[in-house]
Copies of this chain bind each other. A is one copy, B any other.
């Protein structure tokens, strides 16, 4: 028998990301994704249960990759600001090197499919980071406020600044990224 073709599966992944970025989530039909990947629409159903499965799997794959990149060489022993800055930089690094993947996750997060995701599944990868922030609060380095508020200033600004749909005028280079971290740190530090 023929064997499942990794090349085909990878092409499907790339096609999904590319098409969603080009024409948006709502317009990305199974047939169009198949054509982009140069396979038959029916073949998609060999690799995925249905469209939802294809999109959700693609999302999770990217999220896993992102979290691995960001948490790589994580060193809880460093000073807290250094840790946060390291994560901040790694995240910008990943996003700018993989802007297509990142854009896909942004679109996904605002689609109805988003509700199907177990958020904790994704968050668990960042557990060490969360503990660092917790420690920062205890050591009175970081403001003692609701965690969602801290996240709104420590994480989402990265996403917003990296989203070309939202920020068309800014050039993301080492300097601006560093500058932005300055604001983030000022926001949360005590």
> Which residues of A come within 8 Å of B, CB atoms?
1, 23-27, 42, 106-107, 109-112, 114-115, 143, 145-150, 152-153, 156-157, 160-161, 165-167, 169-170, 176, 179-180, 182-184, 186-189
With contacts A26-B25, A186-B187 taken as known, whether A149 is within 8 angstroms of B110 at the C-beta atoms is: no
Which residue of the partner chain, among B27, B147, B184, B189, contacts A153 with CB atoms under 8 Å? B184
Contact A183 B153 (CB under 8 A): yes
A130 to chain B, nearest CB (A): 13
Q: A152-B167, A186-B186, A186-B187 are in contact. Are A23 and B112 (CB under 8 A)?
A: yes
What B residues does A157 contact at CB under 8 A? 149, 152-153, 156-157
The closest CB in chain B to the CB of A170 belongs to B148
Chain B proximity of A147: nearest CB distance (Å): 7
- CB pair A161–B148 under 8 Å, yes or no, is yes
| Nearest neighbor of A189 in chain B, beta-carbon distance | B186
Given the complex, which residues of B lie within 8 Å of A182, measured CB to CB? 143
B183 adjacent to A187 (CB under 8 Å): yes
Cβ-defined partner of A188 (8 Å) among B147, B165, B170, B183? B183
Q: Give the residue name and chain of the B residue nearest to A40 (CB).
A: B1
Q: A26-B111, A187-B186 are in contact. Are A148 and B167 (CB under 8 A)?
A: yes
A112 and B24 within 8 A (CB): yes
- Say how far A7's CB is from chain B's closest CB, in angstroms: 21
Q: Is B156 touching A169 in the complex (CB atoms < 8 A)?
A: no
Selected from B143, B152, B183, B188, the residue in CB contact (under 8 A) with A149 is B183
Given A24-B111, A179-B146, A183-B145, A160 and B156 touching (CB < 8 A)? yes
